[in-house]
Amino acid sequence: MLKTRDLALDAPDGGLLLTGLNLEVPPGGNLVLAGPSGCGKSRLLKVIAGTERPRAGAVAIGGVAIWPGKGVFTLAGQVRVGLAFARGGLLANLSLQDNVALPLRFQGLPMAQVEARVAAALERFGLARVAGLRPHAVSECARRFANLARVLALEPALVLLDDPLGGLEARDRASALGLLEHWASDPVCTLVITAEDPSLFSSLNATHLQLSQATHVQEPS
Amino acid sequence: MAWLARLGAPVRGFLEFLGDQAHLVVRTLLSGLALRMDQLAVVGAQTKLQVRFTGLDALWLVSGTALLLGAVTLIQAFTQLSGLGAESYIGVLMVLIILRELGPLLTAVLVIGRSSTAIAAELGSMQLNDEVDALAAHGVNPYQYLLLPRWVGVLVSVFVLVVFFDTAALAGGFLVAHLKYGVSFGYFMDSVRQALSNRDFMATLVKVVLFSGAITFHAAHFGLRIRRSQTEIPQAVTKTVVTALLAVFLLDGFVAALFYF
């Protein structure tokens, strides 16, 4: 499902963040990429999602080459990707409900199906009460859950999560981890997670890979 | 060679800017053509929001400005013309000054001040908040969802605002002509009608299309270039205003030369 070859990423200051990254995750596979803050985890997820261009190397999702290529636009209508950000990512001028619904409406799904999937995804995280509020009006935890709900409603083939449990309280963490376990056990869903603390994901049947700043990273074992 | 590089840098920057503008216009046009029927409702809702903000919310400002401008123009012109005994030329003057030039130009300036700044700041803020990346990653084409509605919204709004500007300016001119000099409505409108030609309508339409494109894509260019920090937003807004004003004045001169030279 996901394949990278000799991937190199730029740091915001123009330096080299990662180099020689070779990954191969089969369909249904799970990968946890761990590393300290600033080592390029979030940037790597954006490169894999096709929204940021790598300095060098190749990325393919579901056999579709996105780098070198047109990035995320190559995937349109071919592979559904869900990307949950550690911060941000929700449209500030839309309610949580509309944020979750937007990708589905843009896919052209019937309205009844959109409403059912949005309601189920929001209910899964207990967000029904605040569904009509905009992101700035809800807690940080609700924003993180709304990001996950948007991915859940989309039913993607590739799920990319940027530090999904970081900063959550124990109860909220358990709720999010339940969803992650569901994705991890789904044979048609490929899961890639980045995190500072990989031990939080020890319950997942996933390959773990340690990233470090400006280092040559080998293929995961 | 360092001085040569310093000399070439602004030229290269300008060519990159032009290339990016062309890229944005072409990608937005192509994505507009690729829009599916089931996506129209989503894009249409965004377009309506843009029309409300750029057009409806600016209606009073534009109309009021135009009313005053029309009145002042006529006071100044009539004082001179009546001295020369050429009152019948008030229509020609109103058409030449207001309808041909100041109507589209001042409307564009007001829209730059109100809306292009807002578009640049909004897109910049969306970039920083990863909203644009989130849209693209989830299959929502940013050209279709962000740029196309803004372009169409600004286009519709500028057209409507120019119509209101011209109408209000003529009304202001007529009020002064009637109250101070006793000119009748029929005489005033006949004078304007005789001075107007189809070429003026065409030139105004071309200006509306070009100005709205310049306003939208300058804002999009500088807004979407923001990558790192909030402090880039005011810089992007300033650059948008300066370059969009310059572009609008250049385009105005180009259209004037094309139609009237």
Provide block-wise average pLDDT over 10 residues at a time, chain B (261 residues). Answer: 81 89 93 90 94 94 94 82 69 82 94 95 93 92 95 96 94 88 86 87 94 95 89 93 96 92 82
Give the model's pLDDT for residue B135: 93
Mark yes or no for CB contact B228/A73 under 8 Å.
Answer: no
Mark yes or no for CB contact B133/A52 under 8 Å.
Answer: yes
Query: Considering chain A, what is the average pLDDT of its residues?
Result: 86
Query: Which residues of chain A approach chain B closer than 8 Å at the C-beta?
Result: 12, 46, 49-52, 72-73, 75-77, 80-83, 85, 87-92, 102-103, 105-108, 150, 154, 160
What is the ipTM for the molecules in this complex? 0.88
Query: Would the pLDDT of A220 be above 60?
Result: no
Over residues A170-178, the mean pLDDT reads: 85
Query: Which residues of chain B approach chain A closer than 8 Å at the C-beta?
Result: 36, 38-39, 41-42, 125-126, 128-141, 145, 227-228
Amino acid at A44: L
Cis peptide before A68 (omega within 30 of 0): yes
Q: Which residues pair with A7 in a beta bridge?
A: A21
Q: How close B13 gets to chain A, by Cα (Å)?
A: 19
Give the model's pLDDT for residue B87: 67
In order of their start, the domains of chain A are 26-51+79-210 (3.40.50.300)
Tokens of B217: 């894509």
Amino acid at B235: Q
Of the candidate ranges A135-139, A155-159, A216-220, B56-60, the one whose mean pLDDT is the lowest: A216-220
Give the phi and the psi of residue B35 in degrees, each rounded to 5. -65, 130
In angstroms, the first-to-last Cα distance of chain B is 43
Give the model's pLDDT for residue B216: 95
Q: How close B58 gets to chain A, by Cα (Å)?
A: 21
Question: Taking CB atoms and an 8 Å cutoff, what residues of chain A touch B36?
Answer: 108
How many Å apart are CA A152 and CA A139, to the nearest integer?
Answer: 20
Mark yes or no for CB contact A89/B131 under 8 Å.
Answer: yes
| CA B42 centroid distance within chain | 25
Closest residue in chain B to residue A78, using alpha carbons only: B139
DSSP-based three-state secondary structure for B257: helix
Angle at which helix A140-154 crosses helix A170-185, to 10 degrees, equals 10
Amino acid at B124: G
pLDDT confidence tier of residue A12, bands split at 50, 70 and 90: confident
Considering only the beta carbons, identify the residue of A76, A88, A105 that sits closest to B129.
A88
Length reported for chain A? 221
Tell which residue, B172, B170, B175, B176, has the closest CA to residue B191: B170
Query: Would the pLDDT of A212 be above 80?
Result: no
Closest residue in chain A to residue B133, using alpha carbons only: A51
Give the model's pLDDT for residue B92: 80
A67-105 pLDDT per residue, tens:
888 888 888 778 889 999 888 889 999 999 999 999 999
Over residues A187-193, the mean pLDDT reads: 88
pLDDT confidence tier of residue A221, bands split at 50, 70 and 90: very low
How many Å apart are CA A129 and CA B45, to the nearest integer?
Answer: 25
